[in-house]
Chains A and B, each alone.
Chain A
């Protein structure tokens, strides 16, 4: 596709359920980032991939959060045993190479945990 695609656009989960959020980056983009954006806040860094390697996961808030990018393209962010504080918009971004190339963001997935 022409841009970064994220699915689903909206997700409602009951507390304790597991969820999986998908990101399709722009074809050929090496770098992929996940961000979490709470209501009324700016996005916060979660994790970074260079191809299939997860080089930085320092922003993941707990061990309930797990991200993967097994073939260096599509990435999945999984949240286990969701809690209400996990409610946020999850943004994915990709760029064509490492370094200072611009980030292209998707439209995000709005997760609501009830």
Chain B
């Protein structure tokens, strides 16, 4: 089974600063996807960024970027120019395409606090 580990239960960052959230995963597959989801108090999971394992180039989405280290099975999220609205739970997730769609395995999450 694929496991996803987020070793930081809570992180704090000042507004306008940069923060990095860590994620490691365990898999024997070569073809898979990695995701970062944001979950605000509304509970809705919002996709922040995704990375295909076969792509060497790190994904970026505006202020969000990842550092994907396939050999190390590491997938960290960097948030630049942090904003108050970035405060939420962040979940790293692993997805493997299969005949059953791709069920995501999530980590336990990191709570991000943004201070003014």
Contact = CB atoms under 8 A, between A and B. Distances in A.
A93 to B, nearest CB: 7
Contact of B101 (A33, A40, A44, A89): A33
Interface string A78-114: 0000000000010101010011101101111010000
A33 B45 CA distance: 13
B100 interface: yes
A103 B104 contact: yes
Interface of A: 31, 33, 35, 40-45, 48, 50, 55-56, 59, 89, 91, 93, 95, 98-100, 102-103, 105-108, 110
A102 B98 CA distance: 15
Interface of B: 4, 33, 42-47, 50, 52, 91, 93, 95, 97, 99-109
A106 B47 contact: no
B103 A102 contact: no
B17 to A, nearest CB: 26
B106 A44 contact: yes
Contacts of B103: 33, 45, 48, 56, 59
B105 A45 contact: yes
Contacts of B97: 99-100
A105 B100 contact: no
B99 A42 contact: no
A43 B93 CA distance: 10
B100 A56 contact: yes
Contacts of A42: 4, 91, 93, 106-109
A110 B43 CA distance: 10
A93 B100 contact: no
A45 B33 CA distance: 16
The 10 residue pairs across chains A and B that have the minimum distance between CB atoms: A42-B106, A56-B100, A105-B45, A45-B103, A108-B43, A107-B44, A55-B100, A31-B101, A48-B101, A43-B106
Contact of B45 (A31, A59, A91): A91
Nearest to B47: A102
Given A43-B91, A91-B45, A105-B44, A100 B33 contact: yes
Contact of B108 (A40, A59, A106): A40
